[in-house]
Structure 1
Amino acid sequence: MNTLCALAAETLRDGRRRGLAHELLGAMREIAARQGLKHLVAPVRPSAKDSYPLMPIERYIHWRRPDGQLLDPWMRVHERLGARVSTPLPHSMLITGTVPEWQSWTGLVFPDPGDYVFPEGLATVRIDGDQGTYWEPNFWMIHPDIAPAAS
C-alpha cells in the first residue's frame, strides 16, 4: 500500500477563494507523507462544471485558460500541487427521485418528459414519467511523488 485516497474535501461556498482548498489538499498530502505513502488520489467534483452542464466531463476536464492553467478552479488547486487529471467518470454518482422530489430539490417545474438543466447540476436530470434520474460526473486527480515527511 502506497496511496492515500481522499473521499471528500469540501468547503462552504462562502469559504472559497480564501485558500482553504489548498490547505485541505496540503493537509492530505502531509498525512500521506507522514504515513510513508507516495501518492494521493482524489475523486473530484469540479467546482465550475455547473456552468457547463451540457458539456461532457470527458471534454470539460481538458479545458484550459489562455494562461495554460486548467479552467476549473478546484482542478487548478490540485494541479498547482503537482496533480494530474486522470480518469473521467460520466456516471459517478446516481441520484434518483420522484418528480415532486426533484421539483422540491431544484425549485423547478418539470411539465414534460426530457432532459433538464438545474441549478448546481453538473449534468442534466432526465425526467421520465414520475421519476427523475441524474448521473453526476466526476474524475480523478492523481498526486504522485509525495515527499517523505521530515524526521
Structure 2
Amino acid sequence: SIPPSRRGQGLSRVMVEAMVKLAADHGFGNLIAPVRPNQMHRYPLTPVERYARWTNDDGAPFDAWMRVHWRLGAEIVKPCPRSMRIEGSVQQWQDWTGMRFPETGDYIVPGALAPVRIEREADRGIYVEPNVWMRHRIGD
C-alpha cells in the first residue's frame, strides 16, 4: 500500500511497470497480477464477477487499481471470488474491526470487499476476499 502522503504521484504506475520489467528480465511471457480492487469496499454486496465488468464512460475499468493495470496494457483474465480466506474467533474479529457482532449473520466491515460471516454458535468469523486476475503480456 502506498502511504497517503505519497498518493497521487504516479507511484502505482511505477510499481506495476517495475513488476512488468522484472518479469520481462526473467524471460516470462506474461505477468499475472492478482489485483485487489481497491474501490470494491464501497460495494461489498456486489459479486466480484459483476464488479470487474464495470467501466467508466471511456471504457476503462471502473476500479482505480484495475485501471492502472489496464492502462499499462493488462487485460482481465478472470475474477476470483475466493482469493483469500481469513478465519478467526468472534472475539478476534471484534478486536480486529472495532465492531461488535451480537448475533450470527453477515456483516459489512469498513474496508472489506465482501461481508464477514459471523457464526456465534461456532465462535467463528470468516472473511473470503475476492480479487481479479489480470494479465500483462510481455514482449507483445
**Structures share fold, TM-score greater than 0.5:** yes
Alpha-carbon shift at residue 70 of structure 1 (Å): 0.7
Distance 2:94 2:4 in 1: 23
- Provide the aligned C-alpha RMSD in A: 1.4
Per-residue displacement from partner, 1:90-116 (whole Å, max 9, x unpaired)? 111110111111111111111111000
Q: Distance in 2 between matches of 1:72 and 1:13?
A: 18
Which runs of at least 4 in structure 1 moved beyond 6 Å after TM superposition? none
Number of equivalences? 138
Q: CA deviation at 1:67?
A: 2.1
1:13, CA displacement in angstroms? 4.0
| Equivalent of 1:134 in 115, 120, 127 | 127
Residue 119 (structure 2) pairs with residue 147 (structure 1): no
Q: 1:13 to 1:46 in 2, by over 3 A?
A: farther
TM-score when normalising by structure 1: 0.86
Distance in structure 1 (CA, Å) of the matches to 2:127 and 2:136 = 29
Distance in 1 (CA, whole Å) between partners of 2:77 and 2:4 is 25
Q: Where do 5+ consecutive residues of structure 1 fail to align?
A: 1-9
Please, which runs of 5 or more residues in structure 2 have no aligned partner?
A: none
Which residue identity lines up with residue 79 of structure 2 in the other structure? P
Q: Distance in 1 between matches of 2:103 and 2:37?
A: 29
Report percent identity of matched pairs.
49
In the superposition, the TM-score normalised over structure 2's length comes to 0.92
Partner in structure 1 of residue 71 of structure 2: 80
